[in-house]
Amino acid sequence: MTDTPVRVRFAPSPTGYLHIGSVRSALFNWLYARHSGGQFILRIEDTDQKRLVEDAVDDFTRGLRWLGCQWDEGPLVGGDYGPYQQSERLPLYQVWAEWLVEHGHAYRCYCTEERLEAMRQTQVANKEQSGYDRHCRILTPEQRAAHEAAGDPSVIRLAIEPLDGSTTFHDAIRGEITFDHSQLQDAVLLKSDGWPTYHLAAVVDDHLMGITHILRSDEWLSSAPLGVLLYQAFGWKAPVWAHLPVILNPNGKGKMSKRFAVGADGKAIPVLLKDYIAAGYLPEAMLNFLANIGWSLDGSTEVFTPEQAIAAFDIAAINPAPAAFPYEKLLWLNGIYIRQLDDDELYRRLLPFVAAGLGLDEAELAARPELRAAVPLIKERIKTLAEAAPMLTFLFEDGPLSYADPQELIGEKMDAAQTVTALQQTAAMLAALPAWDKESVETSLRELSERLGLKVRQLLHPVRTALTGSKVSPPLFEAVVILGRARTLARLAAAEAVLRDDKVSSKL
């Protein structure tokens, strides 16, 4: 345990919606905060004005809450270390950037974009190492005065020092990591418009907000020494760094991009949390799934609660290797969680999805009895909430079904005539049934199949197809009950007629 209370943060940039990889980073931070009884802070890093996406912050807060990772400080909830939006903290960064200049750890650079671009071109042409040539680092006081007098715009750059040294820091997942200073850039800390870059803003905020552990994506590893040097320059106590392994495309090729990901079968899969939400994944499944990428509860337990994860979470146990996104496993897990829900709860969650899938108004759907009755029938058959609607359309169709291929109505090892007879008999039997419940329907149909000398599956095939429009459907006896006697008899008659017509036409 640490001597000071643990404070971790998730600091997304509102340049896009919540990416599934970011969500994993947020989750690990949250798990660690809860594990150690510390605070989880949400901070918005909106220093790139050009790429701002208007409703991104809303997407972040909704996504995090959907997952169940509530932050202790940040947007919507406040806190003692605010504001939690970097655009509202500009003076802070300017003050600290100035401080660095005054203390010789940073310097103003007056290089124009044109000069920088020309320098890059030359470096590429000569196959030299790329990077800023530190032109303005060695300006004389007179030269600086001249630039200032001329009103030339400037940025503030970090002065890497010593230039021939190296920086070593400890990563809680990977151990000691050393970077030679010859590889480091005199990175821009404050842009010419007075806004900070990530390097400055993150360090200033992490320090001012009392962040003790920085768990962030592996992509930041290369710029970590900049952060270390900055903490040193400021004379601040450095936090613990832990760089989380990146998540790769499911096919293992390249990291999952902001825009799309490639599945194992080469097809695209969603990358944004909101798309997973819309596809009908459960938050409890998503949390469980994400926690299992780069970390595991005990190596053998696949399904576990947030409480279990919190209790067992350990930064040092995180696997440093990049991981392909195991999409198939998410689907499987989601199915597990769906089956764990009780029927009323599943019904509640299904409502908006089925309404959307069927093109019905949610209130209208809720007023009907079919969906609630069908929940137990589809529970074991869906892996996402969105998959329910297509299986249930036959229950909400009030008119006759269309049978694209009448041949599909014909039962196994049966002909059209036999099928017609079977459908007729079924209709007659069901019409006369005294009670309309599952047992009565099942008993009568089983008896009928015996009487007709058919296997149950043989009889049920045409009945199923006639009633549902498909060879595949939820369990038939229950479906018949939900469908009701009127629609059942109407469909049986319609199917029989279609088969007759088809038989006639094929004989002509």
Partner RNA sequence: GCCCCCAUCGUCUAGAGGACUAGGACACAGGCCUUUCAAGCCUGCGACAGGGGUUCGAAUCCCCUUGGGGGCACCA
Question: Which parts of 440-469 interact with RNA (CB under 7 A)?
Answer: 442, 456-457, 460-461, 464
Nearest to RNA of 51, 267 (CB atom): 51
Phi, psi of 241 (to 5 degrees): -100, 145
Tokens, residue 111: 């290089």
Tokens, residue 257: 């991009």
In order, the DSSP letters of 342-395 are -HHHHHHHHHHHHHHHHT--HHHHHHSSHHHHHHHHHTTT-SSGGGHHHHHHHH
342: left (phi over 0), alpha (psi -120 to 50) or beta: beta
CB of 479 to RNA, least distance (A): 8
CB of 438 to RNA, least distance (A): 8
The stretches of 237-301 forming alpha helices (DSSP H) are: 273-278, 283-291
Hey, which residues between 269 and 288 contact RNA (CB under 7 A)? Answer: none
Nearest to RNA of 5, 165 (CB atom): 165
Listed ranges 100-108, 294-302, 415-423, 426-434: which one lies at the site for RNA (CB under 7 A) = 294-302
Cβ 241 vs Cβ 231: under 8 Å: no
Hey, which residues between 124 and 183 contact RNA (CB under 7 A)? Answer: 127, 129-132, 153, 155, 174-175, 177-180, 183
CB of 367 to RNA, least distance (A): 27
Q: How far is CA 68 from CA 26, 36, 366, 376, 465, in A?
A: 11, 17, 27, 27, 43
Nearest to RNA of 172, 360 (CB atom): 172
For RNA, the binding residue among 135, 144, 255, 274 (CB under 7 A) is 255
Cβ 41 vs Cβ 71: under 8 Å: yes
For RNA, the binding residue among 136, 246, 287, 385 (CB under 7 A) is 246
For RNA, the binding residue among 68, 165, 254, 369 (CB under 7 A) is 254
Nearest to RNA of 351, 459 (CB atom): 459
Hey, which residues between 380 and 439 contact RNA (CB under 7 A)? Answer: 380-381
CB of 114 to RNA, least distance (A): 10
Size of the site for RNA (CB under 7 A): 91
Listed ranges 11-19, 348-356, 488-496, 499-507: which one lies at the site for RNA (CB under 7 A) = 11-19
For RNA, the binding residue among 70, 85, 185, 340 (CB under 7 A) is 185
Hey, which residues between 468 and 487 contact RNA (CB under 7 A)? Answer: 471-478
Q: How far is CA 373 from CA 278, 392, 471, 482, in A?
A: 24, 11, 21, 7
Report the alpha-carbon distance of residue 47 to residue 89 in Å, rounded.
10
Site string for RNA, 369-388 (x = CB under 7 A): -----------xx-------
Nearest to RNA of 212, 249 (CB atom): 249
Report the alpha-carbon distance of residue 346 to residue 382 in Å, rounded.
11
For 51-59, the CB contacts below 8 A with 24+ separation are 51/13, 51/15, 52/14, 52/15, 53/14, 53/15, 53/16, 53/17, 56/12, 56/14, 56/15, 56/16, 56/17, 57/14, 57/85, 59/17, 59/18, 59/273, 59/274
Hey, which residues between 92 and 121 contact RNA (CB under 7 A)? Answer: 111-113, 116, 120
* Alpha-carbon Rg for the chain in angstroms: 32
Tokens 């190596």, residue located? 299
Give Cα 445 distance to the centre of its chain: 46
Hey, which residues between 213 and 242 contact RNA (CB under 7 A)? Answer: 218-223
Site string for RNA, 37-76 (x = CB under 7 A): --------x-xx--x-------------------------
Site string for RNA, 187-216 (x = CB under 7 A): xx--xxx-xxxx------------------
Catalytic positions are 258
Residue 259 binds to RNA (criterion: CB under 7 A)? no
Within a 10 A sphere around the Cβ of 117, how many other Cβ atoms?
11
Residue 321 binds to RNA (criterion: CB under 7 A)? yes
Tokens 């994400």, residue located? 290
CB of 286 to RNA, least distance (A): 14
Nearest to RNA of 180, 344 (CB atom): 180
Report the alpha-carbon distance of residue 293 to residue 288 in Å, rounded.
9
Cβ 482 vs Cβ 449: under 8 Å: no
Nearest to RNA of 340, 500 (CB atom): 340
Listed ranges 123-131, 270-278, 361-369, 496-504: which one lies at the site for RNA (CB under 7 A) = 123-131
Beta bridge partners of 156: 108, 190
For RNA, the binding residue among 172, 278, 324, 429 (CB under 7 A) is 324
Report the alpha-carbon distance of residue 476 to residue 460 in Å, rounded.
8
For RNA, the binding residue among 23, 228, 248, 374 (CB under 7 A) is 248
Q: Which amino acid is at 123?
A: Q
Nearest to RNA of 457, 506 (CB atom): 457
